[in-house]
Amino acid sequence: MTLTNEQIFSTLVLPYLNHAVRMYEASYASAPDIDAAMRFGCGYPQGPLTVIDELGAATVRDQLAARYAETGDHLHQPAELLDRLADEGRTFAEEGAGGDGAAPELKHEITKVGVVGTGTMASGIVQVFAQAGYDVVFVGRGDDKVAGVVKFIDKGLSKLVEKGKLDEDAKAAVLGRLSGATEREALADVDLVVEAIAEDLEIKTQLYKDLDRICKPGAILATTTSSLPITKLGEATNRPESVIGMHFFNPATIMKLVEVVTTVDTDADVNETVLALCARVGKVAVSCSDRSGFIVNCLLFPYLNDAVTLLESGAATMDEINDAIKEQAGFPMGPFQLLDVVGNDVSLAIQQELYAEFKEPGFAPAPLLEQKVAEGALGRKTGKGFHDYGA
């Protein structure tokens, strides 16, 4: 029997909402930050906690309880906080209210920024800082890689000129703030380094040992990692208090979100400085601590994995699931469209990390997702994933 759009919504979106409640309940992130992360990181019209407020905590609680009775899956058991808000008739808007609302300040002076890496993410980050008025030193493994960054940024700025969003003088000024190098020693006098190299702990650890040796005292060392333990990178240095996560989203020049990730060692002034810096370069920063998946991936990928599991069950087709989610939840893409954009290999790797971290049986990667990766059907980048992108 094919599920209705409402049933597909309740199957996939209700556990996602419940997971967001548990994230807030555990004091991992604030209610505004959880909502902002999903809005600016995924393009969702509303964050999950706002959705619960609109639907009503009691409605969401009761629908989850019905799912839990049916599946016995712990992930469908209504979070205790959801139960309490439902009983009290309260909302997350009320629950999350408070705080002094003071904007973060730059506790460390930041005038010169360093970026390590020359890929799309690194190039975008270089452009973001240079456009915001910062002198940027970026380091690549060879002259061709360094030239590639300048070419990438020149092309991006030229598009802005064509659209009338930038003039030629402003473009020249941005390019004039760039300084490429092939030796890490060029980072000796920067105030902040953002590392955007391969997601390999051994390679990153070696880099952090180098940065610790090269960078001046007080310089902040930031990583764009989306999956590796930032604490381990801090431990590779003699300045763990200066190590922090700045998880930009791709493309960095367009996506507004930055997840600012602190370890137990990160100094409060370093955290506040990075939050303030994000605002200065036009980004929306959300705060969380060093845990697998941070906010966005931790909420997004179990939902995508559940969609694959639902498809495997035969209760709905891929098109029915995609259409139902766009119609009922207002998400910009259906789950299978998004999986193909992200890459099924990337999605599987993240889901495996979440499963290893949280030990939740419901986080086990869907067999069909594993099969797609084994077949090399990785999504748009290979021309075939859940959908076929052949000519």
Spatial neighbors of 179 by CB under 8 A, at least 6 apart, are: 135, 136, 137, 138, 186
C-alpha 342/C-alpha 209 separation (Å) is 31
Q: Enter the DSSP assignment of 384.
A: B
Backbone φ, ψ for residue 335 (5° rounding): -60, -35
Which two structure tokens, joined as six digits, stand for 159? Answer: 């598009």
User: Any idea which residue has 């980004």 for tokens?
Assistant: 283
C-alpha 190/C-alpha 52 separation (Å) is 44
Closest-CA residue to 150 (of 186, 176, 116, 183):
176
The DSSP bridge pattern shows strands 284-289 and 257-262 to be parallel
The H-assigned helical ranges of 107-219 are: 120-131, 143-162, 168-176, 201-214
C-alpha 369/C-alpha 308 separation (Å) is 7
The catalytic site residues sit at: 226, 247, 259, 297
Check: CB of residue 131 under 8 Å from CB of residue 174.
yes
* Strand residue runs (E) in 196-348: 220-223, 243-248, 257-262, 284-289
